[in-house]
Amino acid sequence: MQTDLSFWIGFNVFVLLMLALDLGVFNRKAHEVSIKEAMIWTGVWITLAMCFNGLIYYWQGEVKALEFFTGYVIEKALSVDNIFVFVLIFSYFKTPAIHQHKILFWGIIGALIMRAAFIFAGVALLEKFHWTIYVFGAILIYTGYKMLTQKEMIIEPEKNPLIKLFRRVMPVTNELHGGKFFVKQNGKRFATPLFLVLVLIETTDLIFAADSIPAILAITQDHFIVYTSNVFAILGLRSLYFALAGMMDKFRYLSKGLALILMFVGLKMLVVDFYKLPIQIALLVIVVILIVSIAVSLMVNKRDNDASAFRDKNN
């Protein structure tokens, strides 16, 4: 079903209004986001996504609503991996908590633009060259395997080619200047370390988009469903970061679960011409993998904490 242009315009106007409210009203002054505030905003974004899902159900029926929900769950789950990286980047640059919201806000603006381009390019490729679905499937399986076998993620900004190129083009100050991305010193324009963090956040999201967009294309190639589910997941990423950043170590096996999800949707793409897996089954498999990986993480953490407490008691 071809989506009317008015829906595209209406949805994007809604997104811009929400972003304007976020930056211009609720977060006009730089401040350290509390866990309570982050949880409230996380709930707001999830509620808005589910309300929109209800609208999709009313407007286009059960199948499209399930496609949106499955795409949203995939993107939301994979965005947790972004949070792991954000924590590492902010820790590496010792970015003050008071400035992290601003960086993530502009990072998400850039992510929305890049992902829109990825979505339309990906759908166009699949429509024109059907065989690219096997390429996407193979990429997802390979990426999932790499995630499954890697031991620890290491952030090395000094080896990032974009950071190296940027430093050649524009000088960077050694210290922060409040929440500014750029400053003038002796008549010369300098970037601040905050802007370097923003560049690194953007390039990291670009890498993640290369995995997450094909993953949702395994569920549907409807431009509007892919785009809106992706946007809702990204819009809630910032608040989710502040809600979970302090306890990411408690979900040690979640990345393994995400790897299995990528491999599953990759396999789904590879067999699509031989067997079309019902959307309900795909959603069930994804949800079960997420629940099991979170449950195992919490159980192992409890076991380790109990063992640590026992050792302390007997020492």
Quick one: pLDDT at residue 31? 66
| Contact predicate 182/195, CB 8 Å | yes
**Considering only 49-53, 57-61, 252-256, 293-297, which range has the smallest mean pLDDT?**
252-256
Quick one: pLDDT at residue 48? 92
Residue 311: enclosing H or E segment and its boundaries? helix 279-314
Q: Is the pLDDT of residue 258 over 70?
A: yes
What is the three-state SS of 57-116?
Answer: HHHHCHHHHHHHHHHHHHHHHHHHHHHHHHHHHHHHCCCCHHHHHHHHHHHHHHHHHHHH
Instruction: Tell me the backbone φ, ψ of residue 189, rounded to 5 degrees.
Output: -85, 130
> CB neighbours of 15 closer than 8 A, spacing ≥ 6?
112, 231, 235
User: How many whole angstroms separate alpha carbon 248 and alpha carbon 243?
Assistant: 10
User: How many whole angstroms separate alpha carbon 65 and alpha carbon 154?
Assistant: 38
Q: For residue 62, with 0-12 CB atoms within 10 Å meaning exposed, 13-18 middle and 19 or more buried, which class applies?
A: exposed
Of the ranges 117-121, 252-256, 278-282, 291-295, the best mean pLDDT one: 291-295
Q: Is the pLDDT of residue 54 over 90?
A: yes
Quick one: pLDDT at residue 49? 92
Of the ranges 24-33, 227-236, 251-260, 305-314, the best mean pLDDT one: 227-236
pLDDT digits (tens, 9 = 90+) for 164-188: 787 788 888 877 777 788 888 888 8
Return the higher-pLDDT residue of 226 and 303.
226
User: How many whole angstroms separate alpha carbon 37 and alpha carbon 32?
Assistant: 10
pLDDT digits (tens, 9 = 90+) for 88-112: 788 878 888 888 888 888 888 888 8
Quick one: pLDDT at residue 157? 65
Return the higher-pLDDT residue of 314 and 266.
266
Q: For residue 44, with 0-12 CB atoms within 10 Å meaning exposed, 13-18 middle and 19 or more buried, which class applies?
A: middle
Quick one: pLDDT at residue 24? 59
Quick one: pLDDT at residue 144? 83
Rounded percentage of the chain residues whose pLDDT exceeds 90: 6
Confidence of residue 86 (pLDDT cuts 50, 70, 90): confident
Quick one: pLDDT at residue 149? 82
**Considering only 27-41, 84-98, 286-300, which range has the smallest mean pLDDT?**
27-41
Return the higher-pLDDT residue of 47 and 158.
47
Percentage helix, strand, coil for the chain under 3-state DSSP, each rounded to 5 = 80, 5, 20
Quick one: pLDDT at residue 230? 87
> CB neighbours of 285 closer than 8 A, spacing ≥ 6?
264
Q: Measuring CA to CA, which residue among 178, 8, 196, 184 is closest to residue 93?
A: 196
Confidence of residue 65 (pLDDT cuts 50, 70, 90): very high
Quick one: pLDDT at residue 33? 72
Quick one: pLDDT at residue 66? 92
> CB neighbours of 65 closer than 8 A, spacing ≥ 6?
53, 54, 56, 57
- 3-state class (DSSP) for residue 180: coil
Quick one: pLDDT at residue 244? 75
Across the chain, mean pLDDT equals: 81
Mean pLDDT of 201-218: 78
Q: Is the pLDDT of residue 2 over 60?
A: no
